[in-house]
Amino acid sequence: MVVRDNLYIDGQWVSARGRETLQVVNPATEEVIATVPAGTVQDAAAAVCAARAAFAGWAATPIEERASWLKKLAEGLRARAEELANIITAELGMPLDFSRSIQIAMPLDIIEGFADMVDCFQDEHIGNALVVREPVGVVACITPWNYPLLQVVLKVAPALLAGCTVILKPSEITPLDAFLLADVATQVGLPAGVFNLVSGTGEEVGECLAGHPEVDMISFTGSTRAGRRVSELAAATVKRVALELGGKSPALVLDDANLAAAIESTLESCFINSGQTCDAMTRLLVPETLYERAVALAIKGASKFSVGDPMGGEAKLGPLVSARQLRRVRDYIQKGIEEGAQLLCGGVGPPAGLERGYYVSPTVFGRVTPEMIIAREEVFGPVLSIITYRDEEEAVRIANETDYGLAAAVWSADEQRALAVALRLRAGQVAVNGGPDNPLAPFGGYKQSGNGREMGRYGLEEFLEVKAIRMPEK
């Protein structure tokens, strides 16, 4: 049992103003494994005050020095990588081997990648104007539970490099890794007020930060519903808002594609982290003529995704993160059955032998139509919908016929044909024939998947203002 009873504000661990705590539950055992403070409006305001006081000095710190601080944070976290992996597996439920590579190694590499971007601050001369880039100011980072350290890093690292000061509100479901980051900030001696941590609920701490007049920017990742609320609150002070929200991403398989490779990749995308991934490929679009082959391949492929104890070393999928998430996913599976979709594998009940813990079987539906709820709404669980189309025009229309636009995939034996289709899809990232992730490429969505970009230079620029200084003509 881990007890975190302080918040990290102005370079110190301080007692929360209130007495309430939040429980952290291990989703594999349903046992409480930790408590953290339920921060209050007063705690959030104190963190904002500290960040505001530290801003001028941090913004004036040379970029090379700010980059060196990022490297120190990365080194401190890397020294505790195994501890971090065990913490995230315990609070989230991702199998330990995957936590090591996805939840730990990736964010640490990304911190170091941002630390190498000092050349992104070069001034420009446009005629008689000197164009400079300056930090936005005080930034509130509100992060989700599904990739907790990664999402923290994607916001905090570029914000600090840009010269912003930060208040972090991690998800109350998976907050423990954020506390370890604050431990490292203390250990390396990060200047007071530059980084602050306030745990708490979205309704209390999150809403205070979103509406606070001394916060210059909100960077939020979460549900589209919560993103709308953040935007509403931020609008009162016209602060900058970056949102990375939901998705309903299509994998569009053209008639000449390698069907087996396309379905294997789609299942990996759909099921990783038990389907709790915003850019998961949850809609598989195949030609009607290939439907039966696609079904057979999907059923066979899904059977390889073993479900079990995330600490056991064998399972590919662990539990969902919470009892609430389990109810949500099961409800969507039931809706799919009621709407007439063909349940090919998986279903509502728990996997055999896993009655304890928030487990759900990888589920594949066939004969899904674009109008069905499971084809339109984000399930956020390991549920794949197979949809058929008659021709390429219909395929593109179905792929784009969604409120979301975070990611997509296109498969074809003809790479140029796939590229042409990719250019027609309304999504922030499109993978052609399984093109791998690129941490330097921009990540973000169209439509109700949000606005702004994360990762690489584009993620850094979110935290910068652009100023034009007009000089006399010579």
Indicate which residues carry an active-site annotation: 244, 278
SS3 at position 392: helix
d(C-alpha 106, C-alpha 114), whole Å:
12
Phi, psi of 239 (to 5 degrees): -80, 160
Query: Strand pairing partners for 191?
Result: none
d(C-alpha 280, C-alpha 274), whole Å:
10
Which tokens belong to 62? 């040379």
Cβ of 1: how many Cβ atoms within 10 Å?
A: 8
DSSP state, 120? G
Torsion sign (Cα): 205, 154, 307, 291:
positive
Q: How far apart are the first and last CA of the chain?
A: 69
Phi, psi of 21 (to 5 degrees): -125, 160
- Burial group, residue 465, by CB count within 10 angstroms (0-12, 13-18, 19+): middle
Q: Which of 308, 362, 349, 314 lies closest to 28, judged by CA?
A: 308
Q: Residue 194: which region, alpha, beta or left (left: phi > 0; alpha: psi -120 to 50)? A: alpha
Q: Which residues contact 305 (CB under 8 A, 6 or more apart)?
A: 267, 271, 316, 317, 362, 382
SS3 at position 118: helix
Cβ of 57: how many Cβ atoms within 10 Å?
A: 14
Query: Strand pairing partners for 410?
Result: 252, 432
**In this structure, are strands 124-126 and 129-135 parallel, antiparallel, or unpaired?**
antiparallel
Q: Which of 304, 316, 279, 302 lies closest to 93, judged by CA?
A: 316
Phi, psi of 133 (to 5 degrees): -115, 130
DSSP letter for each residue of 225-245 = HHHHHHHHHHHTTT-EEEEE-
d(C-alpha 362, C-alpha 266), whole Å:
13
SS3 at position 433: coil
SS3 at position 123: coil
d(C-alpha 118, C-alpha 182), whole Å:
24
Query: Strand pairing partners for 443?
Result: 454
